[in-house]
C-alpha cells in the first residue's frame, strides 16, 4: 500500500494497493492525488520510508 498525505493537516489524499511496492504503484497514487487536490505551484513531495 502506498498512501499520499497532505502534510499540512495529515489528511490522506489518495492511495494505491498492490502485492508489491513498485514505481507504477507510486506514480498511480501520486497522479491520482494530484488530480484530486490540484496542488498549486511549489508542490513539495516528501517520501517517508520506514515506520
Confidence of residue 1 (pLDDT cuts 50, 70, 90): confident
Q: Look at residue 36 and give its three-state secondary structure.
A: helix
Q: Contact, 25 vs 18, CB < 8 A?
A: yes
Q: What is the pTM of this model?
A: 0.65
Confidence of residue 7 (pLDDT cuts 50, 70, 90): confident
Q: Contact, 14 vs 4, CB < 8 A?
A: yes
What are φ and ψ of residue 15, in 5° steps? -155, 165
Residue 49 has pLDDT above 70, yes or no: no
Residue 46 has pLDDT above 80, yes or no: no
Residue 25 has pLDDT above 70, yes or no: yes
Residue 50 has pLDDT above 60, yes or no: no
The three cell numbers of residue 27 are 506514480
Exposure letters 36-47 (e unless 16+ CB within 10 A, then b): eeeeeeeeeeee
Amino acid at each position: 500500500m502506498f498512501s499520499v498525505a497532505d502534510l499540512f493537516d495529515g489528511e490522506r489524499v489518495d492511495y494505491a494497493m498492490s502485492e508489491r511496492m513498485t514505481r507504477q504503484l507510486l506514480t498511480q497514487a501520486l497522479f491520482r492525488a494530484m488530480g484530486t487536490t490540484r496542488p498549486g505551484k511549489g508542490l513539495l513531495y516528501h517520501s517517508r520510508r520506514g515506520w
